[in-house]
Structure 1
Amino acid sequence: MGARAPSPSMHARDDVTPPLPEQEWRKSLEFGKQPKLSAAMDPELDNAVGFTHFDSTASHDDLITVLATREDLHLLSFQTLVRIKSKEDNRSYLGVVVRGPFAESDAISAGSTLAFGVVVQGKKLAYTFDYHGRVEVELLGEESGGELLPPDHRPRPRSPVFLLGVEESAVVLGMAGDLCLGTVSGHDRMEARFDSRDKSILPRHTGIIGTTGGGKSTTVATLIHRAQAAGIATIVFDLEGEYTHVDEPTDHAAMIETLEGRGQKAEGVKDLHIHHPTGRDSRNPGHDNLHGFSLNFSSLSPHVIAEILNLSEAQQERFHEAYDVTKLLLEDFEIFPRPRNEEDRQRMLDVDELTTGYPQMTLQHLLDVVSAYLYSLRSPSKRKGASEESTPRGPRLLSEFGRNVGRVMARVYAQSSKNEISWTALAGKLHQLRRLNIFDVDTAPGVDHEAMLTPGRVSVIDLSGTDSPQLNNLVIADILRGLQETQEARYQRASAGGEPVTPVLIILEEAHEFLSASRISQMPVLFEQVARIAKRGRKRWLGLVFVTQLPQHLPNEVLGLLNNFIIHKITDSSVISRMQRTVGSIDAGLWERVSQLAPGQAIASFSNFTRPLMVAVDPAPVKRLLVD
């Protein structure tokens, strides 16, 4: 037989609270006689917006639960700054709301059946439960003697919580400076600002990251406008031509409306110059300050060229053999160093081929030497005309080396080589490089780095017409090196004269195409050049901005160069996890919001900010071309 169900008399009913033992009952009476704080006893409590809750087993270090009344709930929004006065031990803390506000029922738990019924039957039932608010506050520090120190204690339970004013909140968060990025979420009247002339901020380098449509390009355009207004020389490597019209005001209706709401107006930048590789079109062909340019082969490091051309190990050996012979021939033909010219001689000794190329060397010089090697490796039967009368004296050389082919062949035979296959492959890649028609073009000058560094000038390097990642990377590598060397010289002159140096901001769009994780191991010299620019730039006021929609393709070595981040929406959880490990300054609560950010919203982490913040980036007042 089955067990008999217990009768109601066998046990107390579940909804009846059993009586307290006499000892516990007396304790509760004594507790009720204890004095309590009240607003009447402490008028300051009238301004409190909440009180700290008791800790539980789920509590975390530096996180405090604050409860607020239904009426005060709207005052505590995300990123609101508060002061907690722990009166029991006479300590004062500053904190920021990082979770919530949440509305919790006063009477029953939110998971109870009755709570579900009251909410679901809202159309039929007039009755509801009263509720209170709950937020989680992260402690920023303990106030002591006018300073904010790391907290060694926690506020006691029932400590009153007060709102900080906008001005005081801005000071606490480090929102000071002439360059405004946007507004801080949760503070409509607080702007996210930093000092454009502070060496510890922009020269510490910045990453602008997010998926397509998240607002990266608008952020870049806004940054260009604000940097130009601050007198910063701004250089933009523009792979799509998006920023070739930033000297015109935006004509985007939504942007104009939002600008008016912020008390701003649509306007273009001043002193825009557009640079494009010779033979390639610009997306703004009618611009008044349009400059075609070519590259000097002699300015590019041979190691960087070998990496960008993706030469195999055998091809690299042939390349450097030909490069060394070309240097000897330049001296033989009195091209460089010139005879009895001590300046040329010293310049030759100072050449660092990890940074730059060999002076006066052209791509055609190198091609002529490679042609001479190929000629030396061919058997007589493969040469044009096997007879003695028809056999040419040597290869057809197109540079100055053609004046004395015998001298060229003598150098080649003195540095004899084999492996015709790798020489042929190298010749093919060098001819491919020549067909780009970008090197040593007489009708197109090189880039004027000095002019680019004019205070307040915006220089857009328009690479939209190239359709060649190799050419883009060669242009970026060459101009970066030239800018770094020019800024170095300007810094030395400014320091000698006791004058400030012009700040420089270099924005690199689609940075993952220039320095991808898959290629970084194959391009160590190129990365070292970028790392050298980044390290020296911190002292020479040269700030780099890497913009990418594919941060997973950037190596940790590149991300490690960045100290400031503007992170727009990212939907890939694996990318978020990797970025979370890389950018340690952003707390988990903010990372949880990254996948839900609206266009224009971003998590901003700058070296002057007390903590990373969610911001609404200001709309761009300049015209930006939309790119599919």
Structure 2
Amino acid sequence: MSPSTDPAVPADPADPADPADGPAARIAAAYAFTGPALELGALLWDGACLPDRQIRVPLSMLNRHGLVAGATGTGKTKTLQLIAEQLSAHGVPVFLADIKGDVSGISAPGTDNDKVRARAADVGQDWQPAGCPSEFYSLGGLGTGIPLRATVTAFGPVLMSKVLQLNQTQEQSLGLIFHYADTKGLELIDLKDLRAVVAFLVSDQGRPELKGIGGLSTVTAGVILRALTAFEQQGAGAFFGEPEFDTGEFLRTAADGRGLVSVLELPAVQDRPQLFSTFLMWLLADLYTDLPEVGDLDRPKLVFFFDEAHLLFNGASKAFLDSITQTVRLIRSKGIGVFFVTQTPKDVPADVLAQLGNRVQHALRAFTPDDAKALKATVKTFPNSPYDLEELLTQLGTGEAVITVLSENGAPTPVAATRLRAPRSLMGPVDAAALDRAVKASPLYSRYAEPVDRESAYEKISAEQAAAEAEAEAAAAAAEAEK
């Protein structure tokens, strides 16, 4: 039996059922895992949705990373929501980077309506409305949410060099600046602290200090200072400071055992990709450093979802891409899974894409030559299939996708056209008032909401400079009086 080129068209009732050894049965058998698994939807074959042939992904394979891709309006965000709420139900904490501001509904029960009931009946889903235990965050208080902050010292010279796009020589010099600040007891809490140290080192008063730390030229210090100023203009200053956020908070579960869903609200900074790229680098690096090696687990410790992932990579420096590639490759062994959500696989660098074992590909458009090229490239990233993927991917309906995942033994499953289940949570944002109440009701709000600006490098250098100026003025006055 050959597959239909339009799986959304109902089958002819006269068509014979797919035999037990037919291609649809063989595809479905490859998704009949023995261990815990997330239910994605029902197989589409020969124009029909087959609710008795379920497409699933093993829970133990969710730390092998994944990709959810598709054109605008094809249902990517709902797929993200579907996977995230099932992870939570299995006791796995989830982190959602919400660029557009439309994922907050995961905290509230969904709305029962004819469309949802029809989808549930079609795919064999026992649909019941349910929200997930959730926390809402923002970068440094830019927007609604518990502020996420890191100190410059914790961020470190290596990551700072990458986001400032410094070359190797300049990176080494920044490392010396961090070392100088440490030896002089100049705490680097926020960006004004780092800027103050660099500015001091290129000032008349501080220039002699350059000789003491070696390898740092006035020109290089000036380059770093200008890069810092440009970085602050992107809004990055809000992210650096105290109280510093403990990334272990993302690993919590609710009192009933469900995984906590941490939603990072990013609409306020969606036009500043360098800012949330910076946060991504710090967060993954911090978790990688803090978490022990665990190897293969029966379920992940935490799964990340980065919506609109192309914003992370557009215009990114090679150093940033290298860092993300290395982190994605290594963090699996810490029990962390990472999913990128974007329009086409080509939005994700090839070295990162190669690490993504679970794929949910929604419909693609082929309106332009570039679209057609992207479609052909996408097809080549899938295993051999009985489907005509190039045609199928342009004809999938909203909430339908082509899926391949890693089986329990780590091998790719056959490609399966799938009609996806409906999320049980609200498919849209919660209202602003409810979001604000949820943020302020969190036990973390009192711990992280108010910024703390204690004495650090900026204040110490300013005080020393003021004292030096006062001393110079006193000396000048004394000299004048002796005349």
Within the alignment, does 1:438 sit opposite 2:300 as a pair? no
Distance between the aligned counterparts of 1:220 and 1:501, measured in 2? 18
The one-character-per-residue Cα deviations of 1:396-455 (angstroms, maximum 9, x if unpaired) are xxxxxxxxxxxx4432244476565x654532331343463324433xx32332221124
Q: Is the 8 A contact 1:203 1:542 kept in 2?
A: yes
The one-character-per-residue Cα deviations of 1:261-282 (angstroms, maximum 9, x if unpaired) are 3553453433201111223112
Specify the alignment match of 2:276 in structure 1: 472
Aligned-pair CA distance for 1:580: 2.3
Aligned-pair CA distance for 1:195: 2.7
Distance between the aligned counterparts of 1:565 and 1:501, measured in 2? 18
Distance between the aligned counterparts of 1:251 and 1:509, measured in 2? 23
Within the alignment, does 1:222 sit opposite 2:82 as a pair? yes
Specify the alignment match of 2:32 in structure 1: 174
Q: Is the 8 A contact 1:604 1:612 kept in 2?
A: yes
Aligned-pair CA distance for 1:613: 0.5
Q: Bigger CA drift: 255-264 or 178-187?
A: 255-264
Specify the alignment match of 1:195 in structure 2: 58
2:331 to 533, 537, 540: 537
The one-character-per-residue Cα deviations of 1:575-622 (angstroms, maximum 9, x if unpaired) are 111122333455562332001111111000011264110000111221
CA distance change for structure 1 residues 265 and 619 in 2, over 3 Å: closer, same or farther?
same
Aligned-pair CA distance for 1:371: 1.0
Distance between the aligned counterparts of 2:203 and 2:425, measured in 1? 57
Distance between the aligned counterparts of 1:240 and 1:227, measured in 2? 22
Distance between the aligned counterparts of 1:300 and 1:331, measured in 2? 18
CA distance change for structure 1 residues 321 and 558 in 2, over 3 Å: closer, same or farther?
same
Distance between the aligned counterparts of 2:384 and 2:246, measured in 1? 39
Q: Report 1 or 2 for greater relative contact order, CA contacts < 8 Å, sequence distance ≥ 6.
A: 2
Specify the alignment match of 1:74 in structure 2: 15
Specify the alignment match of 1:258 in structure 2: 118
Distance between the aligned counterparts of 2:22 and 2:127, measured in 1? 35
Specify the alignment match of 2:468 in structure 1: none
Q: Is the 8 A contact 2:41 2:419 kept in 1?
A: yes
2:72 to 212, 219, 241: 212
Secondary structure of the residue that 1:562 maps to in structure 2? Answer: coil
Secondary structure of the residue that 1:193 maps to in structure 2? Answer: strand
Aligned-pair CA distance for 1:471: 0.9
The one-character-per-residue Cα deviations of 1:4-34 (angstroms, maximum 9, x if unpaired) are xxxxxxxxxxxxxxxxxxxxxxxxxxxxxxx
Specify the alignment match of 1:270 in structure 2: 132
Q: Bigger CA drift: 363-372 or 431-440?
A: 431-440
How many residue pairs get matched? 396
Aligned-pair CA distance for 1:184: 1.1
Aligned-pair CA distance for 1:570: 0.8
The one-character-per-residue Cα deviations of 1:147-205 (angstroms, maximum 9, x if unpaired) are xxxxxxxxxxxxxxxxx6xxx97435535544100111132222212331x2xx21221
2:154 to 299, 303, 308: 299
The one-character-per-residue Cα deviations of 1:8-63 (angstroms, maximum 9, x if unpaired) are xxxxxxxxxxxxxxxxxxxxxxxxxxxxxxxxxxxxxxxxxx9x9xxxxxxxxxxx
CA distance change for structure 1 residues 95 and 540 in 2, over 3 Å: closer, same or farther?
farther
The one-character-per-residue Cα deviations of 1:227-252 (angstroms, maximum 9, x if unpaired) are 11111111111112221231112237
Distance between the aligned counterparts of 1:551 and 1:183, measured in 2? 23
Distance between the aligned counterparts of 1:482 and 1:228, measured in 2? 23
2:108 to 248, 253, 267: 248
Q: Is the 8 A contact 2:142 2:238 kept in 1?
A: no
Structure 1: gaps (5+ residues): 1-49, 53-70, 84-93, 98-163, 283-289, 337-359, 377-393, 395-407
Q: Percent identity?
A: 18
**Letter in structure 2 aligned against 1:450:** G
Specify the alignment match of 2:263 in structure 1: 460
CA distance change for structure 1 residues 299 and 413 in 2, over 3 Å: closer, same or farther?
same
Q: Is the 8 A contact 1:256 1:266 kept in 2?
A: no
Secondary structure of the residue that 2:328 maps to in structure 1? Answer: helix
The one-character-per-residue Cα deviations of 1:37-93 (angstroms, maximum 9, x if unpaired) are xxxxxxxxxxxxx9x9xxxxxxxxxxxxxxxxxx995124xxx4x35xxxxxxxxxx
**Letter in structure 1 aligned against 2:15:** H
Q: Bigger CA drift: 273-282 or 186-195?
A: 186-195
Q: Is the 8 A contact 2:69 2:345 kept in 1?
A: yes
Specify the alignment match of 1:331 in structure 2: 183
Q: Which has the larger radius of gyration?
A: 1
Within the alignment, does 1:592 sit opposite 2:452 as a pair? no
Specify the alignment match of 1:183 in structure 2: 42
Distance between the aligned counterparts of 1:96 and 1:509, measured in 2? 34
Specify the alignment match of 2:200 in structure 1: 372
Specify the alignment match of 1:614 in structure 2: 417
Q: How does 1:365-514 map to 2 (within 5 A)?
A: 365-376=193-204, 394=205, 408-414=206-212, 415=214, 420=219, 423-434=221-232, 436=235, 437-442=237-242, 445-455=243-253, 456-466=259-269, 467-488=271-292, 491=294, 503-514=301-312
CA distance change for structure 1 residues 276 and 426 in 2, over 3 Å: closer, same or farther?
same
Q: How does 1:57-68 map to 2 (within 5 A)?
A: none
Specify the alignment match of 1:18 in structure 2: none
Distance between the aligned counterparts of 1:361 and 1:477, measured in 2? 18
The one-character-per-residue Cα deviations of 1:250-309 (angstroms, maximum 9, x if unpaired) are 237455333553553453433201111223112xxxxxxx52221222233534333333
TM-score, length of structure 1 as denominator length = 0.57
CA distance change for structure 1 residues 295 and 551 in 2, over 3 Å: closer, same or farther?
same
Distance between the aligned counterparts of 2:308 and 2:179, measured in 1? 36
Aligned-pair CA distance for 1:459: 0.7
